[in-house]
Amino acid sequence: MEQIIDSLHQFWQFTGFANCSWQNFVMIAIGIGFITVAILKEWEPLLLVPIGFGMIIGNIPMFPGLNIGIYEDGSVLNTLYQGVKQGWYPPLIFLGIGAMTDFSALISQPRLILIGAAAQMGIFGAYLLSLALGFQPNEAGAIGIIGGADGPTAIFLSSKLAPDLMGAIAVSAYSYMALVPVIQRPIMLALTTKKERLIKMPKPRQVSQKEKIIFPIIGFLTTAFIVPSGLPLLGMLFFGNLLKESGVTNRLARTASGPMIDVVTTLIGLTVGCSTQADKFLTGNSVKIFGLGLLSFVIATTCGVLFVKTANLFLKEGHKINPLIGNAGVSAVPDSARVSEVVGLEFDRSNHLLMHAMGPNVAGVIGSAVAAGILLGFLG
């Protein structure tokens, strides 16, 4: 009898109940919250569901030494986590993004590319604020990249610069990307007049196949020579796009933009979620990171819209840009472009801004990868 009780006691020690703390339950509740929001509101479900479930997995209290935890060398989760830790999931996702992205909007109106540059101010605004809050420059750079509104880039950079903060940074980046419509709309309305919102932009021209093929090659050469440290992201992005546009590698493009990106997205979401273990995630720094992440989105949107307004001062009538597409420079493809479309239609049912907004939107992807490369070059 005594032996049975001993065995039961020993078994109890292995259970989650014996090893849990209130922080674990908080994290599990956050994970369930993510899943709920993703299913009910359909906010970034492809990411929030894996991240949410990963949070639940990562916060199941367990007996240490069983070699199953994400931070235990050689465990299954740890092996999958290497893609995040070593930074090879994000470039693979960029390959898929490149194979999905149509750069026509940008090629037909190359002037819109600068909106993508202006919106990167969110990154550097958050960098300055992070330094002011006492973060080290490498941590500040990793936090700043949340303003790029690009999950893979945020994971890539934070895994290199501040691995300890990666969980909070990734969750913050994806959360705010899901909240883009909520964050951006009031800023866009506050910064624009009714007259500006009604600006109709000229129809973009047709883009030939030749231009679409040349774009990834020239785009890559230009950006990679200026910022070689952004090579993994930029190389994969433009390579993926070349697969799509070349017209002779459709199978590869389909795989990159379909099954491959799905697999990697699932793994990156799940493992990032798992990495947010309560003892590492529930800290004062995480709260600061969430605050700074929000501010970075606000700064990025504000700078994008204000940049267009400033540019309009110098543009002739008929060539003016609707400032409602300024927000799209923050990347977050295609959500922020969709916000431009929706807000534009609120004021003029015939004013479709989606294709115009896609220009700065994809420029934002390039811009955030370039910014990540610069930060990595300086702070790595």
Partner 1 sequence: MSVKKLFLLVPALAVSLLAGAQNVSDLIISEVMPVPDSTSLVDDFGVRNGWVELFNTSQGTVNIGGCYLTDDRSDLRKSMISTLDRSTRLGPRQSVVFYASGDQSNGTFYTSFKLRPGTTIYLVSNDGRTLVDSLSVPSGIPAGKSIAKFAYDNKAVVFSECKLSDPTPKAYNAGGKAESGAQRLAREDPYGFTLTLVSVSVVFCALLILWWLFAAMFQSANKKHRAALTAQNQKKAQAPAPKGDVNGEIAAAIAMALESGSEDEVAAAIGLAMEQWLSDTVHDNESFVVTIRRDSQSMWNNKALNFRNYQR
Minimum distance from residue 128 beta carbon to partner 1 (Å): 5
As measured in angstroms, the least distance from the Cβ of 181 to partner 1 is: 22
Rule CB under 8 A: choose which of 19, 75, 108, 255 binds partner 1.
108
Region near partner 1 per CB under 8 A, out of 8-16, 27-35, 112-120, 173-181 = 112-120
Element (H, E) at 249: none
Name 172's Cβ contacts closer than 8 Å, sequence gap at least 6.
Answer: 146, 289, 290, 293
Q: Are 207 and 108 in contact (CB under 8 A)?
A: yes
Footprint of partner 1 on 203-222 (CB under 8 A): 203-209, 211, 214-215, 218-219, 222
The length of the chain in residues reads 380
Min dist CB 107 to partner 1, Å, is 6
CB of 117 to partner 1, least distance (A): 4
Residues in 116-175 at the binding interface with partner 1, rule: CB under 8 A: 116-117, 120-121, 123-124, 127-128, 131-132, 136-138, 140-141, 161
Size of the site for partner 1 (CB under 8 A): 55
Q: Is 107 in the site for partner 1 (CB under 8 A)?
A: yes
Give the rounded distance of the alpha carbon of 5 from its chain centre.
51
Total Cβ atoms within 10 A of residue 54: 27
Q: Which two tokens stand for residue 146?
A: 């949340």
Nearer to partner 1, 32 or 114 (CB): 114
Among 51, 252, 363, 365, binds partner 1 (CB under 8 A): 363
In angstroms, the CA 166 to CA 162 distance is 6
Question: What are the distances in angstroms from CA 15 to CA 20, 191, 247, 297?
Answer: 9, 55, 55, 41
CA–CA separation, 270 and 86 (whole Å): 16
d(CA 193, CA 183) in angstroms, rounded, equals 18
DSSP annotation of 205 reads: P
Counting contacts by CB under 8 A, is residue 111 touching partner 1?
yes
Residues engaged in binding partner 1 (CB under 8 A): 102, 104-105, 107-108, 110-111, 113-114, 116-117, 120-121, 123-124, 127-128, 131-132, 136-138, 140-141, 161, 202-209, 211, 214-215, 218-219, 222-223, 226-227, 352, 355, 363, 366-367, 370-371, 374-375, 377-380
